[in-house]
Amino acid sequence: MSASPAARRALAALLAAGTLIGAAALPAAADDHRRDHRGPHSRSSLAIGDVQYDSPARRDRSNRALNREWVEIKNTGRHSVNLRGFTLTDQQGNRYRFPDFRLDGRSAVKVHTGQGRDTRHDLYQDRSRQIWNDRDTATLRDNRGNVIDSESWGRRGHQHQHRG
């Protein structure tokens, strides 16, 4: 038993339409796969936000004064990012390595200089003296050492350089 020419044409048109839809969806699916493979933290979703440096109580080495000095890391993307192995450095080479810490999408965390209990919104470097000077640069690097973002302030004013 054979199908009529009209039925064969309708089936061919249906298959052709399915092929076109599949071909159009393939690049989008490949893009999603590439994004997933790279991880939900495309570099452009992380940035240095506000910076509170050179606390007014500079000579005060109390933990309270140390924790008034901080750098904010923002995740502007929708997906959470695990910052494990990422680093935050200053011009003098002081380095903070992030623990296994998941920064939710569209949120921020402040990295304080002093000691404290890490929470979803505050991390602590456990240092005994201030590190951010009135002329300095904060640099955020991923766990492979690639610069994600940097923020400078001081003699030349305030400069922000986002990479990604």
Q: Which long-range contacts (CB under 8 A, 24 or more apart) does 42-45 make?
A: 42/77, 42/164, 43/142, 43/146, 43/148, 43/163, 43/164, 44/76, 44/77, 44/162, 44/164, 45/75, 45/76, 45/77, 45/79, 45/81, 45/105
pLDDT (tens digit per residue) in 95-137: 999 999 999 999 999 999 999 999 999 999 999 999 999 899 9
| Residue 27 pLDDT | 45
| Residue 123 pLDDT | 98
Entry pTM: 0.69
How far apart (Å, rounded) are the C-alpha atoms in residues 81 and 130? 27
| Residue 53 pLDDT | 87
| Residue 59 pLDDT | 66
Residues of the chain with pLDDT under 70: 1-3, 7-8, 10-44, 54-59, 155-164
| Residue 4 pLDDT | 74
| Residue 88 pLDDT | 98
| Residue 25 pLDDT | 46
